[in-house]
Amino acid sequence: MAKPEIKKSLQQFDDELKQLYITGQWQYEGLLAACIGGPKPRGEAYLWPWKMVGEKLAEACDVLEESVTARRSLLFNNPGVPMGGTTHTLLMGIQMIKAGEIAWAHRHTLAAVRFVAKGDGKVFTVVNGEKCPMQPNDLILTPQWTWHDHQNPTKETAMWVDVLDVPFMLGLNQPFYEPYPGDKVQAVRDKPSEHLQQRAGWVRPVWENSQKENLPLRYAWKDVEPQLRALADQPGSPYDGVALEYVNPMTGGPTLPTLSCWIQLLRPGEHTKKHRHTSSAVYFAAGGEGTTIVGDKALEWTKNDCFAVPNWAWHEHVNRSMSEEALLFSVNDSPIVNAFGHYREEPEVSLRSMSIPAVPVPKSK
């Protein structure tokens, strides 16, 4: 039987498909190349030094007269993330609010956390009507779609670190935003008994249903620090030192559905082992002096510096001081990665991999 006549070349066919907004799988060479050998770190290891950021924030206080029109937050753009973001999923910034200012209430589907760098407790954020005092190292959540405004009734400037899931949420095309109706600031719950935070501790009302997610939570440093101190003589993680995750007390899971917050103590001279994982992280140096080596780059940090560790990049942390502790606050996107079972780590999975301390046995005589 005669072979059917070939009417067009593959090249012609591919060109035709292209006109029809179709690509044959055989043309997806870029995709195959991207998959081979696993991901390349998305974005760069990069550090925003406080020395520079602090000066720019001071300038922002001059040029942006009123924070009533905008959040005076300087947001860090990773030079290797052209779409915008501190990593490919996370956006970090430092926000400053002058004495007497308010940052008016709004809400959005972007989830945010704030870690306080300067405040005296009279500075506060209101989240869904609950007043959250801001003191150094307090962590305050503004989960997705919760109303939030910030107020500084003191005579001193205050500031905190903002971390949001902006690049992830824009990637999913889920941004919604609303200004608070009727007023610049929210009405606040005046009865402490009505605070949802009263329902997220050791005990809870037996007569109520409970809200498990997106609670307006404040993790006061005065509560977290003693726990960190209590655990500081443990071996800790060989890759992260004494690293604690801020738990969502209602679910027992990560801090927020998209963000996991950590506080991490590096003991004097501590040098962690090198690892890499598919989650990315942004860091704020809350104290001490250290170096985070990412690939072939050394990020040297001191208090109030911010830096980014892209995903799947080998990294290790060093406390440069032999006498002082170093403290890192960080936020990572592991809840997103984990939600679909994609968390990987090399050379081994270090999260939740060790046993809890065993029940003590009597000491033999």
Between CA 278 and CA 208 the distance in angstroms is 39
Does position 281 interact with ligand 1HN (CB under 6 A)? The reply is no
In the bound complex, what is the minimum distance in angstroms from residue 119's beta carbon to ligand 1HN? 14
In the bound complex, what is the minimum distance in angstroms from residue 12's beta carbon to ligand 1HN? 48
Q: CB–CB of 94/158 below 8 Å? A: no
Residue spans of alpha helices (H) in the chain: 10-19, 29-35, 50-63, 166-171, 221-231, 334-339
Pick 175 or 205: Cβ nearer ligand 1HN: 175
Between CA 331 and CA 262 the distance in angstroms is 6
Binding residue for ligand 1HN, selected from 42, 72, 131, 148, defined by CB under 6 A: 148
User: What are the φ and ψ backbone dihedral angles of 113, each rounded to 5 degrees?
Assistant: -130, 150
Pick 95 or 319: Cβ nearer ligand 1HN: 95
Does position 71 interact with ligand 1HN (CB under 6 A)? The reply is yes
Does position 265 interact with ligand 1HN (CB under 6 A)? The reply is no
Angle at alpha carbon of residue 263, lines to 257 and 264, rounded to 5°:
130
In the bound complex, what is the minimum distance in angstroms from residue 25's beta carbon to ligand 1HN? 38
User: What are the φ and ψ backbone dihedral angles of 54, each rounded to 5 degrees?
Assistant: -60, -40
How far from each other are the two terminal CA atoms of the chain, in whole angstroms? 95
Select from 161-169, 179-187, 277-285, 305-313 the region that touches ligand 1HN (CB under 6 A): 161-169
Select from 46-54, 159-167, 320-328, 340-348 the region that touches ligand 1HN (CB under 6 A): 159-167
Q: Please name the residue that has the structure tokens 């945010």.
A: 112
Binding residue for ligand 1HN, selected from 113, 159, 161, 164, defined by CB under 6 A: 164
Whether a cis peptide bond, with omega within 30° of 0, leads into 192 is no
Q: How many residues does the chain have?
A: 365
Binding residue for ligand 1HN, selected from 138, 162, 165, 240, defined by CB under 6 A: 162
Q: Give, as ranges, the residues between 166 and 185 that touch ligand 1HN (CB under 6 A).
A: 166
Site map 80..99 versus ligand 1HN, x via CB under 6 A = -------------x-x----
Name the pairing type of β-strands 130-133 and 73-75. unpaired
Select from 71-79, 222-230, 294-302, 326-334 the region that touches ligand 1HN (CB under 6 A): 71-79
Pick 91 or 243: Cβ nearer ligand 1HN: 91
Binding residue for ligand 1HN, selected from 67, 73, 146, 214, defined by CB under 6 A: 73
Q: CB–CB of 310/78 below 8 Å? A: yes
Q: How many helices (H) and strands (E) are present in the chain, helices listed first?
A: 6, 22
Instruction: For residue 47, give the nearest of 305, 320, 274, 294 by alpha carbon.
Output: 305
Select from 70-78, 210-218, 309-317, 333-341 the region that touches ligand 1HN (CB under 6 A): 70-78
The tokens of 46 are what? 């990069």
Does position 306 interact with ligand 1HN (CB under 6 A)? The reply is no
In the bound complex, what is the minimum distance in angstroms from residue 73's beta carbon to ligand 1HN? 4
Tell me which residues touch ligand 1HN (CB under 6 A). 71, 73, 75, 93, 95, 103, 110, 112, 148, 162, 164, 166
